[in-house]
Structure 1
Amino acid sequence: MKAAGGELGWLTWSPNQGDRSGVSMVLFFYTYSICNVDEREQDNWLRTTFIQRRPSVSQVFVELQFIVRDCNSFDGASLTCKETFNLYSSDADADVGTTFRKSQFKKVATVAPDEITKKNDMRINTETKVVQSLSQKGFYLAFQDIGACIALLSVRVYYKACPATTKSLASFPETVAGGLNQQLKKVTGKCVDNAYSEDLPRIYCTADGEWVVPVGQCQCDAGFEEVEDTCQECQPGFFKAEASRDKCEPCPANTQSQNPRSLFCVCMDGFYRALTDPLTGPCSGLPSAPRGLVATPNSLTPGKLLLSWQPPEHTGGRSDITYSVECHRWEGSSHLPCGEKIRYDPANTGLLDTKVSVSELDPYLNYTFTVEVHSGVSMFPSQAMPRSFKPQSSAALNTSLHYTGEYPPKITSMRLVERDSTSLSLSWDVFPRPRVQSQPIRYELAYRKKIDVTTYVVLKLEKNSVQISDLSPGTAYLVKVQALGDDGNQGVSSLEEQFETLSEGAGRNLQRFDLKTVLLFFFLFRNRNTHTRQGPEDTYFSSPEQLKPLKTYVDPHTYEDPNVAVLKFATEIHPSHISKQKVIGAGEFGEVYRGTLKAPGKKEVAVAIKTLKPGYTEKQRQDFLSEASIMGQFSHQNIIRLEGVVTKFKHAMIVTEFMENGALDRYLRDHDGEFSSHQLVGMLRGIAAGMKYLSEMSYVHRDLAARNILVNTALECKVSDFGLSRVLEDDPEGTYTTSGGKIPIRWTAPEAIAYRKFTSASDVWSFGIVMWEVMAFGERPYWDMSNHEVMKAINEAFRLPAPMDCPSAVYQLMLQCWLQDRAKRPRFGDIVSLLDKLLRSPESLKTIADFDPRVSIRLPSTSGSDGSPFRSVSEWLESIKMSQYSENFTRAGVVTMDQVLQMKNE
């Protein structure tokens, strides 16, 4: 302590100023201490001054440093001596000064030392306690001593916060950490300047004041790039076309950018982009003209030649080079387009190869062909190379283009002009058509009966039509025709075509017969595809062959001794194999625990343990165990699994698999908006698969609701709650008394309410309500309507409107589940198949169901269940969870409910 004193500059003093070597020095701390260990009934208090609270801080940490004296070190005081003290807190809106009332304080914790100070051995303890649920402007801390020897050295009061930060181009403000019940606090960021994101990034602040799990990111706008958590503009000579995390790129070939923030680079003079070229690509020049055009006549086929040429010397840097051919013909001094008469193979435009075959040229005419080159940047056919073919250009060329005789034309089509029972009148077209001054074309026609494959009748004709007589009635004939040249050469024959003579006596009676035949086929077809309407039971129980399950559910109440049913369907577990850990809920019969099951030779598993409270009757015990008798008969991944029961000991228990996320409705409410439609439909598919299994087992659930669906960490949904006793009570609310409590009417099918008719079809109605709950993230069906109003609305054909952002296909399935006629509702097998199709085609979930605001207007007001109208637009919007759109309605001039009622779907 001498050295410490010297550093502090403290002076030492003793009566003997002459010799300081023997001086002892004590360094004092500011402390509060008390040590009344030998007096009974101690109640000593120490209160802090008023501590102001930051509005967003709901919990603080209190770090205490203290010393506690060992009670055994006092003589005779061990009976009254204590070794702990208490920490209290009190919320307050103002400083109350010296006023002190113990009743205003609530206990936070009992503080006990880790190390106790003996007589000559001082041990300083450090403990941190949490004060929660602070809500007023400030608070006090107080310390209560009930008989300890204690010294309070320091009190440090603080809260934890995640510091302001910038991550992924998004800034996040300083955020006070959540409490023990909110381990992670979601914080939405704001993109930095010149950055953008469709879905704003978010990050989570832990209870320890640390940022974790960043989700999403911002992107620099077009024309900007990321530089050290900022977005800076692209410099001249660089560009960036769209918002992304990419850097600015240098301008591509033949382009330039003279300004900052460029989205693209413009083409230099003489260079261009095609309409299909991306703005981020290079620019290119025009191609040069093609070279060396040559025409080669075909010596074997009159009227046909081959044009060929060489590519241009340069293409302008492009690969999309194509060619086109134009043709003109000379008739005297006239230079005319060749028109559609000329044939090109493969075509006269869009040519990729440097050659084309031209046919159907007339003899004795002169032609000029021009070949043009094109590319994506050719604005007009300026780059062309003509080649003229004139009568005296060369001997070879003249020989190729001049002919000594007509060549036979082709037969292009044949048609039936008229027919009766013994004759056929036919005509056909030829190409090319002969010129007026030419000699007429002669034709050869051959025909035969379709059933006679060898015998033809041949006719020589001078015109392109014929009437064939003396034919057999009602007989099919095959006909073909070809043109003949002057030199006797034959042209190409037409394809053989079939024509049929009329039957004897055919005419108007035949038309009536044909009409009757058509009508007969229509009725036969319709009858074949029309099924007899099924009765109400037929949809689910039409025939044993159709619907007989592999295994049928057995009602445990059919057993004279219910204990026999339990032993038959459930496994007995010894209580020593079960370990209870924590109470997680309370059922009708007792508490529900989370725990573990360690059966001999098996791996330890987490389980849920339902217990039977003390003082139960034998009937309550049987009702309690009947659920296990039911569950034990099921084995499906979407049905809660029974691990076993405890029945042979005093405290009966039902042990099931443990579902970490609990009930589906509560889980969805806690994670509102955090799941995509695809994930929600996946949950529904699991529930539907479980219900399909139950329906195939001939089991009717009768209490299907989101609160009875359990969810594990893999978001796998499983059907639970298999109580049996469901008796309709005649009470104003119209609820059912069940082994699991009262079931609200809003989940129950109308026929089950009216006639107590529970079937798989009524379970389908309930599944439709579950679908609505899931897509609405745990919203209560029919909101604050009373059960009486719900029944009245359903009977008046009212149905729940589509939840916000609900896919149209999903909502349409809900409406099918809510059809009044239960025979028309889909089966669970149909539902599973449809949900599978939606999951395999995610694009089918992108179409959102239309929201008709007038539907919700018919709901009662939030002020009560009296059916009174809404008093304002904002009140109506709040009741349907759309209050965020109040400003939109105001800006649109919709400020009264009368105006809302006049709204249309558009």
Structure 2
Amino acid sequence: PPTAPLHLISNVNETSVNLEWSTPLSSGGRQDLSYNVVCKRCGPEGTRCQPCGNGVHFSPQQLSLRATKVSINDLQAHTNYTFEIWAVNGVSQQSPGPEQAVSVTVTTNQAAPSPVNSIQAKDITRHTISLAWQQPEKANGVILEYEVKYYEKDQNERSYRIIKTSSRNTDIKGLTPLTSYVFHVRARTAAGYGEFSAPFEFMTNSVPAPIIGDGTNSTVLLVSVVGSVVLLLILISAFVISRRRSKYSKAKQDADEEKHLHQGVRIYVDPFTYEDPNQAVRQFAKEIDASCIKIEKVIGIGEFGEVCSGRLKMPGKREICVAIKTLKAGYTDKQRRDFLSEASIMGQFDHPNIIHLEGVVTKCKPVMIITEYMENGSLDAFLRKNDGRFTVIQLVGILRGIASGMKYLSDMSYVHRDLAARNILVNSNLVCKVSDFGMSRVLEDDPEAAYTTRGGKIPIRWTAPEAIAYRKFTSASDVWSYGIVMWEVMSYGERPYWDMSNQDVIKAIDEGYRLPPPMDCPVALHQLMLDCWQRERGDRPKFGQIVNMLDKLIRNPNSLKRTGGETTRPSTTLLEPVSPELSSALGSVEDWLQAIGMERYSDNFTAAGYTSPEAVVHMTQEDMGRIGISSAAHQNKILTSVQGMLSQMQQIQGRMVPV
């Protein structure tokens, strides 16, 4: 039989896991080598493992795999899984042994719930429909609430209404008699909303016939007839008005739809807006009894005091490792408020790529903030310690996790303002989590900070130009910082802009220079960095788009194989650009256009004679219009990518890249 597969790596994407491995050292001297995948669901720390069962799906298949990769989907959220990859051939059944397998243990992330399968109408009257439904087949966490969307069948679906409920039933009131309504239901966990259910249609009852006397009471008859006529006129008027209203401008419909789409999305609350800061702490952070905490050792020094590792044992729960930030003695009221503000911020977040707050200790001294413990410390130090040890896919997985956490923060309208590898923490499973939510303070002692024109201190090397010049911090400025984090990850923790001074960095950025790709960095990743470093913040991608882009790269590993060639890491010299001689590593124009999603213009380039990278690199915006590329967005994307080509050669010559 063959030996075990080699170099097994995993990438977790919510409730899916991608596995990839290399062929065994020995195939047993046979040509019929294949692979079987064993899936086990395990308790904490790999205990009590049992087979995954039939609900898990393998792509392309679980047994007799010829390829050296597989995707496992429809796993449970927040669950430990152990996967074994067995190398087998025609004689493996004769003497199977553990030396034929390699294994990896992972923990899935939280994910949105699956769709609700069915909706039932328990009771129907003229104006009310009572609905009930079952919990989604895969809740993927605690269901926080359900959202019911409904609209009249004959009306435009965009004119829907929304009702939210924490239970699996609700009464829809105020409906029109004898009218068909369409209903959809979806569930929400901390990871967000799942998909809406399929449409379910129910009709309200008709208006009952009026009860009239035996004809001898003419007054009753007259009142009944008049009442019926008035009711009929009211219904006709309401129908005409509703028809007129349905013809209102599309802009208002779009605005209403936007409002509906964002109902239920949690928005970050700034603790500094509270008149009493202690109220924010009480609202967003759980008070922990100091007797539940055991401090073991000091692991660092924070702005307000020591940072320690220790253990937390809450009543009825198992003991866990935690990190403990303490407030040093002799603090002022302002220092206490600033210290606890980070807990008030952190306590509002619940995401697998955001550091988790366990609680605070405020009723005795020292005042403490308790968070989950991240065994591998800060990302920049972790990368420097493990220089060159990870595959490109693993590095992209790290970037994907950070982007996912930042998308969550951006969706909550929270701006981090200090996103850098030093503020990303890494746990034992290599899951990266965004931390350090104290950027509202003035960074008096931060060596990465420099005075701005407005007097405050900010980390220049990670900060967008508009934030440096005007202190305009937005999610778009966080995207710029994310581009720098990408560069840090791909360079294994190298210092951005090397030993250049902060003033030289500001000047270089203002003149249009950008960091070159790190050694062996795929072209697609450096292109994404350049997109994040667009001068106009409106031209930068959103975090949701970044997550989607990284997911595409992970699903298509071949797109990560093209790099700028084998080079040494660039020097710190900042020189004028020179005429580039593009290396053969850039490939054909057709490959380049396909890599940036612009393959639709291949014929335009060929017809105009732009058949080599050397020709393309000299193109201008006017040239783009001349060959039939009229979209300004597409022109900008292509021109930005052209600068990416230039950066390949600038890296070889040790220079920063003009864009």
TM bucket by the smaller chain? 0.3 to 0.5
Q: TM-score, normalised by structure 2?
A: 0.47
Structure number with greater Rg is 1
Q: Which has the higher contact order (CA 8 A, sep 6+)?
A: 2
More strand by share: 1
Q: TM-score, normalised by structure 1?
A: 0.35
